[in-house]
Amino acid sequence: MIMHNIVLFGPPGAGKGTQSQKLIAKYHLVHLSTGDLLRAQIAEGTELGLKAKKLMDEGLLVPDEVVIGMIGNALQKNKQAAGFIFDGFPRTVAQAESLDRLLAEHGTNVACMIALEVGEEELVKRLLERGKTSGRPDDQDESKARRRVAVYNSETAPVAGHYARQGKFHSLNGIGEIESIFAQISDLIDRHKP
């Protein structure tokens, strides 16, 4: 039975992927990163991957129905999981509404959303730094990094209100030592155990 579901939230480069790796080792939850799932489709050269690549390389969001479909499949495949860390999803209010509905179909819900707050200059710096080694086209130039932040501000930021209205929104400063941020996230997760 899927029980303990955490949404890790924040702008591109805020540290969601970095913290997710540490959290799955500690809590044995299944990590669902829509960015990673999409990049796997690109690597396999699927039709979905080809369409997604064009949008991702430009720093734009992939259509809701594509990512919602991927998450629905992943939930179906992991019915025995203790819970999930959702990383980079939901990124629109429509995705959040779909996530709530999909989890309800499995008799569960989001326990809490944890947002990592980082300002635009630091985000751009981190993304360009990662771009030196990641090979990710969306990390390669400043104008794309800034477009991703702008897309976050217009399309993704309202998702915080969706979970705030459910009393599930928590926000942390995402600037600081990775271990210290991890300790603060762990504390929030422990306080929201079902």
Closest distance of CB 81 from ligand B4P, Å: 19
The residue sitting closest to ligand B4P, measured at its beta carbon, is 35
Q: Rounded to 5 degrees, what are φ and ψ at 117?
A: -95, 120
Rounded-to-integer distance, Cα 130 and Cα 81, Å: 31
The reply to whether 151 sits in an annotated binding site is no
- Is 147 designated active site? no
Tokens of 140: 């390669």
**Which of 2, 193, 194 lies closest to 80, judged by CA?**
2
Site residues for ligand B4P per CB under 6 A: 10, 12-18, 34-35, 38, 55-56, 59-62, 67, 88-89, 91, 95, 126, 130, 138, 148, 176, 178, 181
Active-site entry in 53, 126, 144, 148:
148
Active-site entry in 16, 53, 126, 144:
16
The reply to whether 90 sits in an annotated binding site is yes
- Is 101 designated active site? no
Does residue 59 contact residue 147 with C-beta atoms inside 8 Å? yes
Strands ordered across the beta sheet of 83-87: 30-33, 83-87, 4-9, 112-117, 169-173
Between vectors from CA 185 to CA 59 and to CA 138, what angle results, nearest 5°? 15
Closest distance of CB 168 from ligand B4P, Å: 18
Active-site entry in 136, 146, 147, 168:
136
- Is 16 designated active site? yes
- Is 136 designated active site? yes
Tokens of 62: 């992939």
- In the numeric block, the tokens 């929104």 are attached to 169
| DSSP state at residue 154 | I
Rounded-to-integer distance, Cα 165 and Cα 45, Å: 40
The reply to whether 60 sits in an annotated binding site is yes
Closest distance of CB 92 from ligand B4P, Å: 7
The reply to whether 103 sits in an annotated binding site is no
Q: Tally DSSP H helices, then E strands, for the chain.
A: 9, 5
Closer CB to ligand B4P, 126 or 162, in the complex? 126
The reply to whether 149 sits in an annotated binding site is no
Closest distance of CB 165 from ligand B4P, Å: 20
Binding-site members for ATP are 13-18, 130, 176
Binding-site members are 13-18, 34, 39, 60-62, 88-91, 95, 130, 136, 148, 176
Could you give the residue numbers annotated as active site?
16, 91, 130, 136, 148
